[in-house]
Structure 1
Amino acid sequence: MELRVLKYFLTVADEGNFTRAADILHITQPTLSRQLMELEDELGTALLIRGKRSVTLTDEGFLFKQQAEMIVELSDKLEHTFKDKKGVVCGTIRIGAAEAVGCRALALYMKEFRDKYPDVQFDLYNGMADNIKEMLERGLLDLGLVLEPIDTAKFEYVRLPQKETWGLLLRNDHELAEKDTITVEDIRQYPLIMPGRENAKNEVLHWMHCEEKHLNIPAYYNLLSNAALLVEAGMGCAVCLDGALSIHADPALCFRRLLPEHTTRSVILWKKNHLFSQAASLFVQTIQEH
């Protein structure tokens, strides 16, 4: 099984069409079709359902696509790592980041590092903390920025000083918007859009002294940008952090801090005993110095 063929398969899976995929790959359609048929024969299973105008994945195809993406990403990372010029710090540093005010500090670190080492590039991925941790463990990311609480047993980390405060995101015409501060007791009667990450959700419920089954929860979210749309549509109010909200300011919505006050911080973490490239190692040192 060749890496080239994995890339062929992923292109067809993404495009859903042999003709478009062949054009992107600069090969003929019969060649592409033959290569993927040989791949299926090698695996002993069908990966693609070939229609007249489109191609879809079988269940095995979806599973294979996930693994193939990981292999290709690792290959690309390995290639970038060993393309460093002699005597010059270069290469790509891959970072995963959750929505948090700590991203502002991370952006400043990246700018400072790039000014010092202009041949370095950053590959920034935004996502949930759990996804970022998984990608760190698989070696697909060098560093991750996530919000506490976090299980750091497998990671080294640096805690950033900026605090983020839990509160309620609601529409300007909501009756609670007239209050400067809101108590946990005030919000229990309203539909609440809650964070979907298990650690964060459990922390919020513990802080509210409430069980999940006693709340009206119309939806869970992983990124606040999605939750904000639900709040704007009138589905409910979102329990969230002010740091993430500052990245998605919306004049139709407002944020009110909840009492008793509850805060958290961002951490930048990396896998223990991870073998960094020269660029990533220097970037970690820069963060630690700050």
Structure 2
Amino acid sequence: MANVVAASGRMRHGDAGDGGTERGMELRVLRYFLAAAEEGSVTGGAELLRISQPTMSRQLQQLERELGVTLFERGQRSITLTPEGMLLRDRARALVELADKTISDVSNRSAGELDGEIAICCGELRGVDWIAERMAVFRARHPRVRFALFSATADVMQERLEQGLSDVAVMGGAIDAERFGFLNLPQADRWGVMMRDDDPLSGLDGITPDDLGGREVLMQYRPQVRGMLDNWFGGVRDEITVSGTYNLPLNAAIAVRHGLGVALCIDVGQVGEGLRFVPLTPHLDVPSVVVWKRNRTLNPSAAAFVEFLRSGGSI
């Protein structure tokens, strides 16, 4: 796949048949752009990709001319992305990742031994233990298969499944059964409070809404989750102060350790030295599911892995 694919294999501007000009962004140039953006300098990007600095500079200048925008603000020793550059960076990452995955999936389709990569995105959930056990068994049976793990929130995971960037996801909560196939996992995720060991609530066996009245609390940023937690609080909701929001529990743990408040989160197992997790009471449990996109042709290894999971994933 030499070029970034649009409708016909190249990104087009105008129409060659009516006097317009055709412009194409090659994957190679997008890789140059991403390397420079991530390194913060053209020289650093060139060194990362082991090409000459003049070659990279020339290609990036040509890219800017083709797009008709400035992608970088150039300083003496570093570069900074413009708003247009930040937009291209985000799109280019997805394009390059999808192109690489497509090449891998197509090149590894064969009737022989399973080969290639299975892309799995996961939340920080107990269900990751379940699928990791089965990943190990599956790879022992098919040693040419490898797994690519990506940690993300539920919204990002669904986007990656829709875009074809991930084959399977492990997430919690309700699933749109018309868009996604899914498998309910045997272990639900339990919500509770993460706090420091020296917190007055750390000696309790369960945390009630009244226990959190007047406290500063870190909340999950997703509106759907916030609504669920607001229902659990009931009339006490107005008595707490939201000191911040988070997307993944390990980020919340750092904030709790530094005294930003207690965090409402799921039980992720070991929370780290100096912290304790206490479940909510009444209990608030959310089922975990393994999810894949319906009506999408998976590569043979990913398809076999999904069937392995659906059959029970015997270990």
- Indicate the TM-score class for this superposition, using the shorter chain for normalisation: over 0.9
Structure 1 residues 22, 182: CA separation in 2 closer, same or farther (over 3 Å shift)? closer
Structure 1 residues 89, 225: CA separation in 2 closer, same or farther (over 3 Å shift)? same
**1:147 correspondence with 2:172:** yes
Instruction: Check conservation: 2:214, 2:239, Cα contact below 8 A.
Output: no
| Cα distance in structure 2, aligned partners of 1:66 and 1:139 | 16
Tell me the equivalent position of 2:283. Answer: 261
Tell me the equivalent position of 2:22. Answer: none
Tell me the equivalent position of 2:295. Answer: 273
The range that moved more, 249-258 or 70-79, is 249-258
Structure 1 residues 210, 40: CA separation in 2 closer, same or farther (over 3 Å shift)? farther
Counterpart of 1:274 in structure 2: which amino acid? R
Instruction: Check conservation: 2:168, 2:291, Cα contact below 8 A.
Output: yes
**By how many angstroms is 1:153 displaced?**
4.2
SS in 2 for 1:68: helix
Which of 89, 114, 117 is equivalent to 1:89? 114
The range that moved more, 160-169 or 123-132, is 160-169
Unaligned runs of 5+ in 2: 1-24
Counterpart of 1:15 in structure 2: which amino acid? E
Tell me the equivalent position of 1:176. Answer: 201
Tell me the equivalent position of 1:77. Answer: 101
Instruction: Check conservation: 2:209, 2:236, Cα contact below 8 A.
Output: no
Instruction: Check conservation: 2:212, 2:240, Cα contact below 8 A.
Output: no
Instruction: Check conservation: 1:150, 1:199, Cα contact below 8 A.
Output: no
**By how many angstroms is 1:136 displaced?**
1.0
Which of 86, 91, 108 is equivalent to 1:62? 86
**By how many angstroms is 1:42 displaced?**
0.8
| Cα distance in structure 2, aligned partners of 1:19 and 1:165 | 49
Counterpart of 2:93 in structure 1: which amino acid? E
| Cα distance in structure 2, aligned partners of 1:192 and 1:86 | 54
Structure 1 residues 67, 213: CA separation in 2 closer, same or farther (over 3 Å shift)? farther
The range that moved more, 117-126 or 183-192, is 183-192
**By how many angstroms is 1:89 displaced?**
0.7
Tell me the equivalent position of 1:249. Answer: 271
Tell me the equivalent position of 1:288. Answer: 310
CA root-mean-square deviation? 1.6
Q: Note the alpha carbon deviations across 1:72-98, whole angstroms, 9 max, x for none.
A: 001100111122255121011101000
**By how many angstroms is 1:162 displaced?**
0.6
Tell me the equivalent position of 1:128. Answer: 153
| Cα distance in structure 2, aligned partners of 1:29 and 1:70 | 25
| Cα distance in structure 2, aligned partners of 1:272 and 1:140 | 14
Tell me the equivalent position of 1:99. Answer: 124
SS in 1 for 2:201: helix
SS in 2 for 1:156: strand
SS in 2 for 1:70: helix
Instruction: Check conservation: 2:207, 2:278, Cα contact below 8 A.
Output: yes
| Cα distance in structure 2, aligned partners of 1:227 and 1:288 | 33
| Cα distance in structure 2, aligned partners of 1:25 and 1:151 | 41
Query: Which structure is richer in relative contact order (CA contacts within 8 A, separation 6 or more)?
Result: 1
| Cα distance in structure 1, aligned partners of 2:194 and 2:44 | 44
| Cα distance in structure 2, aligned partners of 1:112 and 1:205 | 40
| Cα distance in structure 1, aligned partners of 2:274 and 2:30 | 46
- Report the identity percentage: 38
| Cα distance in structure 2, aligned partners of 1:91 and 1:262 | 39
Structure 1 residues 23, 234: CA separation in 2 closer, same or farther (over 3 Å shift)? closer
Instruction: Check conservation: 2:213, 2:236, Cα contact below 8 A.
Output: no
Which of 119, 123, 140 is equivalent to 1:115? 140
Counterpart of 2:281 in structure 1: which amino acid? L
TM-score (norm 1): 0.94
| Cα distance in structure 2, aligned partners of 1:121 and 1:33 | 36
| Cα distance in structure 1, aligned partners of 2:189 and 2:52 | 54
Which of 240, 252, 259 is equivalent to 1:234? 259
Instruction: Check conservation: 1:149, 1:199, Cα contact below 8 A.
Output: no
| Cα distance in structure 2, aligned partners of 1:142 and 1:130 | 15
